[in-house]
Amino acid sequence: MNKVRKNAVDALAGVKDGDVLMLGGFGLCGIPENCISALVDMNIRNITCISNNAGVDDFGIGLLLKKKQVKKMIASYVGENAEFERQLLSGEMEVELIPQGTLATRCMASGYGLPAIYTPAGVGTEVAEGKEVRNFNGKDYLLEMAFNSDYAIVKAWKGDTMGNLIYKETARNFNAVMALAGKITIAEVEELVPAGQLDPNQIHTPGIYVHRIFQGTNYEKRIEQLTVRKRG
């Protein structure tokens, strides 16, 4: 078993035009920066991108949008990106908006071997159009299908050569659920250690879900909304 890759380009080998890619992160928090840059450099096109957000104009998924590499965006909230808005309104890009919990749980279901879930989110709204509604114990629920992707690309804090992952703080977000949902899951980590160096009690994503892993470099970790208070 050798899951370790040299860098993002090496880890992304085989990704091709038209693939469905999941990208972890929430806003700019915990995004796989190295892989996004590599996807830009490799000029992979017609991507269907499943991610909670769409980055900002000049960072994160915004870099892929700028080069018009995304054919379809599946997300829950896309509010911070002017180029996204332009491509959406001009019809250059397809967009499917789905509730955040539905997005997360559809990924989770895939990794749990469940074909679909029932959720109350979106009952009676546009989101419910064309979907099966079933009543359990007096409450309506929508049938939502599990998500699958060609590649799930996630970012973790620490990982080992077996692919086990530990996330930091709120950067766990969608990374830990999308890691479950890739036909091939690629993890970039800030620190890659030999198997045995991570405490098995502390691991968030078991390595069985992770196919390729590499240690990333030059993390910018841009802050979207810097909010602070004064001392005293």
Partner 1 sequence: MSMDKNQIAQRIAKELRDGFYVNLGIGIPTLVANYIPQGINVVLQSENGLLGMGPFPFEGEADADLINAGKQTVTTIPGSVFFDSAMSFGMIRAGKVDLTVLGAMEVAENGDIANWKIPGKMVKGMGGAMDLVASAKNIIVAMMHTNPKGESKLLSKCTLPITGKRCVKKIVTNLAVLEVTDKGFKLLERAPGVSVEEIKEKTEGKLIVDGDVPEVTFN
Give the binding site for partner 1 (CB under 8 A).
26-30, 52, 75-80, 85, 88-89, 95, 97, 99-105, 107-108, 119-127, 157, 167-177, 204, 221-231
Nearer to partner 1 by Cβ, of 18 and 124: the residue is: 124
**166 phi, psi to nearest 5 deg:** -125, 130
Nearer to partner 1 by Cβ, of 5 and 141: the residue is: 141
For residue 90, the surrounding DSSP H or E stretch is none
Nearer to partner 1 by Cβ, of 68 and 139: the residue is: 139
Q: How far is the CB of 211 from partner 1 (least distance, A)?
A: 19
Nearer to partner 1 by Cβ, of 164 and 173: the residue is: 173
Residues 84 and 90: their CA atoms lie apart, in Å, by 10
Provide the token pair at 155. 């970012």
Sign of CA dihedral 11, 15, 21, 26: positive
**23 phi, psi to nearest 5 deg:** -125, 120
Residues 5 and 40: their CA atoms lie apart, in Å, by 19
Q: How far is the CB of 171 from partner 1 (least distance, A)?
A: 4
